[in-house]
Amino acid sequence: MNIDWSLLKTFLTVVQAGTVAQAAAQLACSQPTVSRQLKELETQTGLTLFDRRGYRLVLTDAGASILEFAQNMADQANHLALAIAGKETVVNGTIRISTSEVIAYHFLPPVLVTLQEQYPEIDVEIIVENSAANLSAREADIAIRLFRPDKLGLVRTKIGTLEIGAFASKSYLELYGVPRTLDDLVYHNLLGYDQSAEILDGFRKHLPDANPSLFSVRCDNHLVYWNMIRAGNGIGFCSTLMASQDKMLTRVLPDLKPDGNDVWLATHEALQKTPRVRAVWELLSSQLTKRLWE
């Protein structure tokens, strides 16, 4: 039996994505193409791989039996790609940088100007996400993270720390007044995260009974959150470096210092010494370190 590897790749993507639509988006092809490839794989294997429940696809026992093989083949393909990439000898091509919304919006653009000037033969793709890209699967070549990447096979270095403080717009403080103590905060509109417990956990160090209802507005999108502070929606918590450069914002309760976010660079060890990755790594390290410690 000859099974087309590209069909197994589609099968694996559908399993991971959960729906044909999401898998098609990840594979950059149409939904009919994905559906057709799944049917072709079922024809080649003689197995029914999914139970179709509306838009969702649920693995059958037969589908589960070949999932491990498909994953192993994908892992081997990724290892091969990393090994080939590790043999590169010239500083050109495309490099994919995965980073968070905060770093991408506030810190990365000026650094990319320098990168474009020094290495015009390198094309850059920026992946903006707050979750961790899979460096082993080549979803990104370099990651800039606000947490320490801990997966095996990664090379990482800490390049700085983002200190966090409480800030509000001048318009908000003119309307509601300036809090003088931590207890005053219960009389103010506080901005928090929704699914992330980062801000709430910080509050519980000072107010053990703090719960999500403490925040009048909650949002996990960092750029929306940032603009809510600037617009006067309430008191929010963000990088002191970012906020101190914004004339619309004023720091409140300067003695309230939530835990900061360490900033890390990471890449796969197989890519670290390739000229393209090494050049961008060193530039990001020097430029971002400088900006984070300004």
pLDDT of 189 strictly over 90: yes
Q: Tell me the percentage of the chain whose pLDDT exceeds 70.
A: 88
Predicted confidence at residue 137, as pLDDT, reads: 57
Q: Provide mean pLDDT across the span 163-169.
A: 93
Q: Are residues 144 and 217 in the same domain?
A: no
Q: Which of 32-46, 81-95, 96-110 has the highest mean pLDDT?
A: 96-110
Q: Are residues 22 and 67 in the same domain?
A: yes
Q: Provide mean pLDDT across the span 158-171.
A: 92
Q: Which residue, 85, 111, 130, sits at the end of a domain? A: 85
pLDDT of 71 strictly over 90: no
Q: Which residue, 44, 65, 85, sits at the end of a domain? A: 85
Confidence of residue 4 (pLDDT cuts 50, 70, 90): confident
CATH code, 59: 1.10.10.10
Predicted confidence at residue 169, as pLDDT, reads: 97
Model confidence pLDDT, tens digit, residues 196-229:
877 777 777 766 777 788 889 999 898 999 999 9
Predicted confidence at residue 195, as pLDDT, reads: 83
Q: Are residues 26 and 79 in the same domain?
A: yes
Q: Are residues 70 and 18 in the same domain?
A: yes
pLDDT of 118 strictly over 70: yes
Q: Are residues 206 and 241 in the same domain?
A: yes
CATH code, 100: 3.40.190.10
Confidence of residue 131 (pLDDT cuts 50, 70, 90): low
Q: Are residues 170 and 36 in the same domain?
A: no
Q: Which residue, 46, 66, 85, sits at the end of a domain? A: 85
Q: Which of 154-163, 168-177, 218-227, 267-276 has the highest mean pLDDT?
A: 168-177
Q: Are residues 79 and 101 in the same domain?
A: no
Predicted confidence at residue 77, as pLDDT, reads: 62
Please give the residue range of the domain that contains residue 234. Answer: 164-252
Q: Are residues 171 and 237 in the same domain?
A: yes
pLDDT of 129 strictly over 90: no
Structure-token match 């993507």, residue found:
13
pLDDT of 86 strictly over 60: no
pLDDT of 123 strictly over 70: yes
Q: Are residues 151 and 181 in the same domain?
A: no
For the chain, give the mean pLDDT.
83
Predicted confidence at residue 76, as pLDDT, reads: 64
Q: Are residues 61 and 190 in the same domain?
A: no
Q: Are residues 50 and 121 in the same domain?
A: no
Predicted confidence at residue 17, as pLDDT, reads: 80
Q: Are residues 37 and 180 in the same domain?
A: no
Q: How many domains does the structure of the chain reveal?
A: 3
Confidence of residue 285 (pLDDT cuts 50, 70, 90): very high
Predicted confidence at residue 151, as pLDDT, reads: 80
